[in-house]
Amino acid sequence: MERFKWIPQSLHGGDQDREEDLLGEFEGSDSWSPLQRLYGFAASLVIGFAFMLLSLIVFYRPIKFGIMFTFGNILAVGSTAFLIGPVQQARLMLDPVRIYATAIYVGSAIVALVCALWIHSKMLTLIAIIIEICALVWYSLSYVPFARRMVSELFISCCDREF
């Protein structure tokens, strides 16, 4: 798939044109200062964790729990977009190493919200939340060298017991 580029005409007739992404204004370092990016990251992360912690209060009501936990989880994961930019965040999430974990995470977050908001199924909401957490853990392990292999081997060794 070819990326769309915008090549501005040089005002001074210089010999080099500058190339920018169509969404360059969102990923460019000119739009936000490093301090503003850090504040955005911290605010999104803190609000996300607050939602996740507050969701534990309503754990006995799985629908409210599912909504609060999923929104908090999305805010926490999305907080890194303030630091590296949303385009780079999307690139990292769609990297071949992480694409399946990303798809399962996003899909289970959507399913959790659908089950909580429209279907009103407590059991399906909890199942979707568990899948969401597992996908997020697997996604996060992809950033640590050899972590996925170690967890896979540990899981296999724990499950490969004869009783």
How do residues 40-90 score in pLDDT, each as one tens digit?
999 999 999 999 999 989 988 888 988 999 999 999 999 989 999 999 999
CA 145 to chain centre: 19
The reported pLDDT for the residue numbered 12 is: 41
Number of separate domains in the chain: 1
- Does the residue 5 lie in any domain? no
Note whether residue 94 is domain-resident: yes
- In this prediction, residue 143 carries a pLDDT of 86
* Domain presence at residue 123: yes
Contacts of 68 (CB under 8 A, 6+ apart): 51, 52, 54, 55, 58
Residue 131, pLDDT > 70, answer yes
pTM of the predicted protein model: 0.71
Residue 22 resides in a domain:
no
- Where do we find the tokens 């996003």? 106
Range of the domain at 72: 30-159
Handedness of CA 28, 32, 38, 39 (dihedral sign): negative
Say if 8 falls within a structural domain.
Answer: no
Residue 10 belongs to a domain: no
Predicted local distance difference test score (pLDDT) of residue 128: 93
Q: What pLDDT score was predicted for residue 2? A: 44
125, part of any domain: yes
Helix boundaries (H) for 58-79:
62-78
Q: Is residue 35 part of a domain?
A: yes
Within 10 A of 92 (CB to CB), how many other CB atoms are there?
A: 17
User: From the DSSP assignment, how many helices (H) and strands (E) are in the chain?
Assistant: 8, 2
pLDDT of res. 60:
84
